[in-house]
A and B are shown apart, each in its own frame.
Chain A
């Protein structure tokens, strides 16, 4: 009780505004927070600390953990060729998926921002894959891309027959060369609607007066897009770029459901490798070390992008 009274007395806000009726909610507030705090401590805060410690041990869940210092990191960075392969695969997915998704999403959003009929229906259709279960999507894509009876190979055969060109459909899911594009296709189908919806919201926030003014000044459609729309939605582009980059770093389910990381590890991503180390090889320490390397990469990339945004992102003045 006395502590409560003292808190109330020393609270600067209360002193500043003595006539405003402000009860002290100290203990009540903690009651409201209790369930959330409990969850936060058990499932977020403690695991972050634990994960950091785990990255310095060798532990197969059966024997007690063994402190190995930096050995996990040293092994991964200098002696594990698979680690660099999965980093390379992840980089491939990042440089393909992120730009393609931004371009397709923006193009669709611009198209749907026009005064034409059926916008709502188009939006429902393009957004539909976003809410679907990736595994179901992967099953259909495996079917569509199947060399023997898939529609894609059928189209390619027909095209070859029609033009007489010596081309053959690739065996997408069993070829180390085509497995990554197959995963990219699934991801684009699944996520482009998301990018589109965010861009559409941004486009609707661009004031019409600016277009009118640009039009009066004789700017054509492309110039209006280049000099009015694009700068004004650049904060959205920046935001989408960041979250898609993070998403690409964390790619897992698409690769798992589509190819199980194969063939020959050609679609094994960093997160897939964390999963394998922890739950297939029972190397909890090694897996935690990969997770921290992943975190450092995500953090660095986000930081660099945030520093670079000054050059091309325009926030409204004031």
Chain B
């Protein structure tokens, strides 16, 4: 036993110089990773003239650029749009996916496996293939430049359905059967047994999809054309195209754009990592 722990320490623990070297490299790497964030914050707090002279001084810090950014571009509106779109997409996606996953994992019906296979097959098709017809359909429905157009196509996700089904399959079937014996129908089993037991997967998908929707770029870019419907990333890109030398404003806009996801990330960083690992491992 003592031998085993000694071995373990030998195999795992590094000598002091090794640990120091590792920390040096990791800290340098962290600096590189954080540099863009720090530069963004610094420039956003400095007056315009300082950028060319590089005479950054602590006394010059002010929120002036933020006020001006909100004055020249409708950032408040972008924010509102992003909050509406990301929240509704996430809620709808989880609701729709959990209903479908419940049917796939807990109910038996004709054609279940064939349908599920068809769902999975479409995971291979890149978004770019369906993007143009989706654009045509949205225009046909007269939804161009509306919230429906931003929300509904992403409210349905094969991938979320797949991950939820995999999770539901791990819950014992006896639960359903006991509930049915007690007279509960499928809806009650879904709402009062399966969903309450699925906290981890729901939280993971929620945080992961919210982040994905918040940062989504290509679809909001093609389906909106007025500032009043732009989400944060698309609004920021348009702002960048328009004010491409006004670094002090662009940096303030970038900080504003990043803040919500970064706060969400710092609070729920374990869920983020879980979401990534989960999707990375195909739900295993």
**A→B interface (CB under 8 Å):** 7, 11, 13, 21-26, 28-30, 32-33, 35-40, 42-48, 50-51, 54, 61, 108, 111-112, 114-116, 118, 122-141, 143-144, 148-149, 151, 189, 193-194, 197-198, 201, 208, 211-212, 215-216, 224, 239-240, 243, 246, 249-250, 252-253, 256-257, 260, 271, 274-275, 278-279, 284, 287-288, 291-292, 294-295, 298-299, 302
Which residues of A are found within 8 Å of B261, using beta-carbon distances? Answer: 131-133
Which residues of A are found within 8 Å of B233, using beta-carbon distances? Answer: 133-136
Q: A114-B12, A126-B29, A246-B126 are in contact. Are A133 and B215 (CB under 8 A)?
A: yes
Residue of B at shortest CB range from A28?
B186
| A118, B135: Cα distance in complex, Å | 47
Q: Which of A111, A125, A136 contacts B40 (CB 8 A)?
A: A136
Residue of B at shortest CB range from A216?
B7
Q: Is A131 a contact partner of B99 (Cβ separation < 8 A)? A: no
Most buried by A among B11, B19, B181: B11
Q: Is B128 a contact partner of A126 (Cβ separation < 8 A)? A: no
Q: Can you name 30 A-B residue pairings with CB atoms under 8 Å? A: A11-B108, A28-B186, A29-B112, A32-B102, A32-B186, A33-B99, A33-B100, A33-B115, A35-B99, A35-B156, A50-B133, A51-B129, A54-B133, A114-B14, A114-B19, A127-B273, A129-B33, A129-B36, A139-B236, A140-B36, A143-B247, A149-B54, A211-B11, A215-B7, A257-B217, A260-B241, A278-B131, A279-B135, A291-B131, A295-B126
Which residues of A are found within 8 Å of B54, using beta-carbon distances? Answer: 149
Residue of B at shortest CB range from A195?
B280
Q: What is the CB-to-nearest-CB distance from B208 to chain A, in angstroms, rounded to a whole number?
A: 10
Residue of A at shortest CB range from B41?
A140
Q: Is B39 a contact partner of A43 (Cβ separation < 8 A)? A: no
**B→A interface (CB under 8 Å):** 4, 7-8, 10-14, 19, 22-23, 25-26, 29-30, 32-37, 39-40, 43, 51-52, 54, 95-97, 99-100, 102-104, 107-110, 112, 115, 119, 122, 124-137, 139, 152-153, 155-156, 158, 161, 177, 180-181, 185-186, 190, 211, 214-215, 217-218, 221-222, 232-233, 236-237, 240-241, 247, 250-251, 253-255, 257-258, 261-262, 264-266, 269, 272-273, 276-277, 280-282
Q: What is the CB-to-nearest-CB distance from B42 to chain A, in angstroms, rounded to a whole number?
A: 10
State the 4 A-B residue pairs at the shortest beta-carbon distance, nearest first.
A39-B156, A36-B100, A47-B133, A136-B254
Residue of B at shortest CB range from A258?
B240
Q: A32-B100, A46-B137, A136-B254 are in contact. Are A189 and B280 (CB under 8 A)?
A: no
Residue of A at shortest CB range from B270?
A120
Q: Is B211 a contact partner of A215 (Cβ separation < 8 A)? A: no
| A116, B100: Cα distance in complex, Å | 44
Q: A11-B108, A124-B266, A132-B258 are in contact. Are A51 and B130 (CB under 8 A)?
A: yes
Which residues of A are found within 8 Å of B14, using beta-carbon distances? Answer: 114-116
| A212, B6: Cα distance in complex, Å | 10
Q: Which of A43, A118, A130, A208 contacts B8 (CB 8 A)?
A: A208
| A67, B13: Cα distance in complex, Å | 68
Q: A33-B100, A51-B130, A149-B54 are in contact. Are A139 and B254 (CB under 8 A)?
A: yes
Residue of A at shortest CB range from B264?
A131
Q: What is the CB-to-nearest-CB distance from B174 to chain A, in angstroms, rounded to a whole number?
A: 11
Q: Is B237 a contact partner of A257 (Cβ separation < 8 A)? A: yes
Q: What is the CB-to-nearest-CB distance from B94 to chain A, in angstroms, rounded to a whole number?
A: 12
Which residues of B are found within 8 Å of A22, using beta-carbon distances? Answer: 108
Q: A116-B19, A139-B254, A149-B51 are in contact. Are A44 and B26 (CB under 8 A)?
A: no
Q: Which of B185, B215, B277 contacts A198 (CB 8 A)?
A: B277
Q: What is the CB-to-nearest-CB distance from A238 to chain B, in angstroms, rounded to a whole number?
A: 12
Q: Is A294 a contact partner of B126 (Cβ separation < 8 A)? A: yes
Q: What is the CB-to-nearest-CB distance from B53 to chain A, in angstroms, rounded to a whole number?
A: 9
Which residues of A are found within 8 Å of B139, using beta-carbon distances? Answer: 61
Residue of A at shortest CB range from B186?
A28
Which residues of B are found within 8 Å of A23, using beta-carbon distances? Answer: 180
Residue of A at shortest CB range from B190?
A32
Which residues of A are found within 8 Å of B128, using beta-carbon distances? Answer: 250, 271, 274, 291, 294
Q: Is A125 a contact partner of B236 (Cβ separation < 8 A)? A: no
Q: Is A26 a contact partner of B125 (Cβ separation < 8 A)? A: no
Q: A36-B97, A278-B132 are in contact. Are A136 and B108 (CB under 8 A)?
A: no
Residue of B at shortest CB range from A151?
B39
Q: Could you list 4 further interchain pairs (A-B, Cβ under 8 angstroms) beyond the known A13-B108, A212-B8, A291-B128?
A: A33-B100, A47-B137, A131-B272, A133-B215
Q: Is B52 a contact partner of A291 (Cβ separation < 8 A)? A: no
Q: What is the CB-to-nearest-CB distance from A163 to chain B, in angstroms, rounded to a whole number?
A: 21
Q: A151-B39, A216-B7 are in contact. Are A48 and B137 (CB under 8 A)?
A: no
